[in-house]
């Protein structure tokens, strides 16, 4: 059965396969966790990470990406993001 690590790795694998630049990763609900983990693994490719009604991964910061959390009350920048 696929779990959180598998989901994050699937995102990493797809971004690696497609080899895009200026990637915007979007996670909603549960998917915010593996999307956040994938963003950290991918490095400097994500130019933005958007979390819609989602928990903030790890310690509230997404390293190497600018993050925006979108919830019922609108947009809020994650700590440490411009």
Give percent of the chain above pLDDT 70. Answer: 65
Provide the whole-model pTM.
0.67
Cβ atoms of 15 and 22 within 8 Å: the answer is no
- Condensed to tens digits (0 to 9), the pLDDT of residues 38-63 reads 988 888 877 788 888 876 655 545 54
Number of other CB atoms surrounding residue 33 within 10 Å: 19
pLDDT at residue 66 is higher than 60: no
Whole-angstrom CA distances from 41 to 14, 30, 51, 74 are: 12, 18, 17, 27
Q: Which segments within 1-82 are labelled E, that is strand? A: 23-28, 46-52, 67-71, 74-77
């Amino acid at each position: 059965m696929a779990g959180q690590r598998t989901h994050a790795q699937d995102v990493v694998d797809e971004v690696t396969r497609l080899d895009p630049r200026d990637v915007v990763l979007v996670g909603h609900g549960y998917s915010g966790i593996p999307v956040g983990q994938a963003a950290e693994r991918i490095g400097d490719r994500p130019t933005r990470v958007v979390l819609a009604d989602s928990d903030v991964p790890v310690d509230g910061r997404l390293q190497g990406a600018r993050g925006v959390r979108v919830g019922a009350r609108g947009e809020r920048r994650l700590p440490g993001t411009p």
